[in-house]
Structure 1
Amino acid sequence: MTELSQKDIYSPPMRAIHGILCVEIAMVFYAVQDAMMKSLLETYSVWMLIFFRALVSVIILSPIILWLGAPYRILTPLWPIHAVRGALFAIAFALFYAAFPFMGLAEVVTIFFSAPLFTAILAALWLKETIGPHRAGALIVGFIGILIAMNPTGDSFTWVALLPLGTAVMYAVSQVLARIIGDRETTLTVGLHTLFFSGLAILPFGWLVAQIVGGNPEFRHLDFNFFSQFWAGWDILIFMGAIGMVGYVLLGRAYQVAPASLIAPFDYTYLPIAVALGYFLFDEVPPQTTILGMGLIILSGLYLGYREIRALRKTEEPAIVAETTFVPGNPLPAQVTDEYEAPDQPGSR
């Protein structure tokens, strides 16, 4: 009876349900984390929040990796690539969160979700991946969505809208680097090193920016009054970092137990969750241009992911697909496979 029940638990339908639940809970955690970021920026600097999110995540991840053992590892010969990804990650999300005091939550995340479009273009230029007519059409639709969401000709347009766009570009570069890493690293190792190096990189970058804009009350969230802020609210900083870490683990688990072709579309549920949080917590009503642009970006991203996974099925080679996992703050793409592979025993992964 026990053997039958375990087979039922690890059957494809149950693992699909497991994966969907994990990704949906992860999206809620990520959206809550970003809403907390937006709220905390009234008190804390961007640099403080990003640094302690990385610190808490590394503290949680390191013992997990040590406990799991091979093939997971703390030390890696690929650390230079991880260091570059970490620096890109730090700067990208500094731009992302720096836009929060000036823009609505939904507007910022909508522009950021254009990252898969830039990833596809950079992969074609850098890795010589082919962009056929189907993907080219999806890219055109997606970039039209970006223009509509940013509404550069509208009266409400501000240069701050370029910040999340810069985030999308830098995030895309980091995801192309992840493709170069490929399956030579586990996703946990990639995540640990990206977070570790992002925590290191954010300190000098934050200090430099603070020297440039310091003293301007409009940019007080970019000040570098670091340690005084920490002692004023270390508990909430740790809590926020833990929320992001749980979301990261759940998202990784979702892609581990279920096919990427099933899980990837659920990443986009982050957007309506962010819209709802912006409305209920900050009284933000996104303009119609943002909603329309969001719809086009979602359609474009979903189709790009579909074409990527379809190509992988033809080659039967698992690969890292940056276009399917790119929620804000997530340091790694998922390793795509369309096979259900049950763990050796419950809780073994």
Structure 2
Amino acid sequence: MDDRSTRLSGVGLMLLAVFVFSCGDATGKFIVATYSVGQLLWLRACAALLLLAPAIWRRKKDFAKLERPHLQFFRIVLSTSEVASFFLAAMYLPLADVVTYYLACPIFVTALSAIVLREEVGWRRWSAILVGFAGVLIALRPSTQSFSWPALVALCGSLSFAGLMLITRQLRRTPDIVMVSSQFVGTFLFSAVLAPIGWVTPTPRSLVLFAAAGMISVCALLCVSRSLKLAPASAIVPYQYSQIFWAVIFGFVIFGDVPSPATLVGAVIIVAAGLYIFLREGNLGREDTTVGTPG
């Protein structure tokens, strides 16, 4: 597979990951209406680790020779912080509002990837990312809760997610199964302390939802891990903007939220920016083999 095809494969996997993550976000928000965040995270991690157990057993030797252990540990901390922040904020804010803060992540990643990872980010991609973020603001419009503590929690989660993306890119030689399972181990240990607080005995229907949340998160994380190994973080992370579409759809179908005209206008802007980045990334793949023009 040539460099251009590899980059585009990374983009495709990120788009798939965003859709799967959105399914998990909606499922989690539905669950935390009845159960605590700690209980959600713990049962979700239990389901995920049970699903991953056969693969962990087959690849157990990979866990004994981790590259850059200090970064691996920091990545687990960021992952746990990010997921806990998201669902804690989702208890108090509409799903679309929480997603708004998380969609600032591409801005953080693009800036940090140029500084930390020394990836080339041209003015065209910078412009498209900023236009896309403007579309997010138009679509979701900052509410009167913009500066509430749940909003600040969501913003901190977005910063943790940006750091997680960058470190994952640096640890791209680490096997996917190690990346994904270590995140759930971290969540399992952290939430095991919180889960007993306000514990509610799950119904059979709820257990199915907890199991689904675990399976969804495993699939999404595997897609993200692989996408970051195929393409630069600054090239694929902007596709998180597509999460706004799923937030609108799931918000309407599950929670009864009706999108406003401003949401639809913002969505069009986001699509335009995303398509531009996608086409520019395709051109970058072709030019890398010749003159190496930055994005």
How far residue 110 of structure 1 moved from its aligned partner, in angstroms, is 4.1
- Which of 55, 58, 70 is matched with 2:49 structurally? 58
- Which of 106, 113, 127 is matched with 1:116 structurally? 106
- Which of 89, 105, 108 is matched with 2:79 structurally? 89
C-alpha distance in structure 2 between counterparts of 1:27 and 1:139, whole Å: 17
How far residue 174 of structure 1 moved from its aligned partner, in angstroms, is 0.8
C-alpha distance in structure 1 between counterparts of 2:213 and 2:139, whole Å: 29
| 1:283 corresponds to 2:256 | yes
Change beyond 3 A, Cα 1:265–1:168: closer
Segments of structure 1 that go 5 or more residues without pairing to the other structure are 1-15, 208-223, 317-349
Residue number in structure 1 paired with 2:123: 133
Change beyond 3 A, Cα 1:86–1:26: same
Query: Which deviations, in whole Å up to 9, do the C-alpha atoms of 1:218-252 show, x marking residues without a partner?
Result: xxxxxx64483356655542343233334555x47
Give aligned-pair identity as a percent. 25
Q: What is the letter of the counterpart of residue 36 of structure 1?
A: T
Give the conservation status (yes or no) of the 8 Å contact 1:87–1:197: yes
Query: Which deviations, in whole Å up to 9, do the C-alpha atoms of 1:192-237 show, x marking residues without a partner?
Result: 2222223334456xx5xxxxxxxxxxxxxxxx64483356655542
C-alpha distance in structure 2 between counterparts of 1:134 and 1:108, whole Å: 28
| 1:192 corresponds to 2:181 | yes
C-alpha distance in structure 2 between counterparts of 1:274 and 1:236, whole Å: 19
C-alpha distance in structure 1 between counterparts of 2:271 and 2:37, whole Å: 28
Task: Report the count of equivalent residues.
Answer: 273
Give the conservation status (yes or no) of the 8 Å contact 2:176–2:226: no
C-alpha distance in structure 2 between counterparts of 1:259 and 1:87, whole Å: 24
Question: Scaled by the length of structure 1, what TM-score is found?
Answer: 0.62
How far residue 25 of structure 1 moved from its aligned partner, in angstroms, is 7.6
Give the conservation status (yes or no) of the 8 Å contact 1:86–1:201: no
Superposition pairs of residues 239-318 of structure 1, within 5 angstroms: 239-248=212-221, 251=223, 270-300=243-273, 303-304=276-277, 307=280, 311=284
Give the conservation status (yes or no) of the 8 Å contact 1:65–1:73: no
Segments of structure 2 that go 5 or more residues without pairing to the other structure are 1-7, 290-295
Q: Per the alignment, in what secondary structure is the counterpart of residue 200 of structure 2?
A: helix
Residue number in structure 2 paired with 1:49: 40
How far residue 24 of structure 1 moved from its aligned partner, in angstroms, is 8.2
Residue number in structure 2 paired with 1:36: 27
Q: What is the letter of the counterpart of residue 216 of structure 2?
A: I
C-alpha distance in structure 1 between counterparts of 2:269 and 2:192, whole Å: 36
Query: Which deviations, in whole Å up to 9, do the C-alpha atoms of 1:2-60 show, x marking residues without a partner?
Result: xxxxxxxxxxxxxx9xx97x988866654332222111112111122123222322222
Give the conservation status (yes or no) of the 8 Å contact 1:90–1:202: no
Q: What is the letter of the counterpart of residue 189 of structure 1?
A: V
Change beyond 3 A, Cα 1:225–1:199: closer
Q: What is the letter of the counterpart of residue 200 of structure 2?
A: Q
Give the conservation status (yes or no) of the 8 Å contact 1:142–1:296: yes
Residue number in structure 1 paired with 2:4: none
Query: Which deviations, in whole Å up to 9, do the C-alpha atoms of 1:101-141 show, x marking residues without a partner?
Result: 33332333244233222111111222233332212212332
| 1:106 corresponds to 2:96 | yes
C-alpha RMSD of matched pairs (Å): 4.1
| 1:228 corresponds to 2:195 | no
Give the conservation status (yes or no) of the 8 Å contact 1:149–1:291: yes
Q: What is the letter of the counterpart of residue 26 of structure 2?
A: A
C-alpha distance in structure 2 between counterparts of 1:269 and 1:178, whole Å: 21
How far residue 304 of structure 1 moved from its aligned partner, in angstroms, is 4.7
- Which of 158, 168, 174 is matched with 2:164 structurally? 174
C-alpha distance in structure 2 between counterparts of 1:308 and 1:28, whole Å: 21
Structure with bigger RCO (C-alpha 8 Å, 6+ apart): 2
How far residue 149 of structure 1 moved from its aligned partner, in angstroms, is 4.7
C-alpha distance in structure 2 between counterparts of 1:124 and 1:162, whole Å: 26
Residue number in structure 2 paired with 1:145: 135
C-alpha distance in structure 1 between counterparts of 2:260 and 2:147, whole Å: 14
Q: Which has the larger radius of gyration?
A: 1
Give the conservation status (yes or no) of the 8 Å contact 1:48–1:230: no
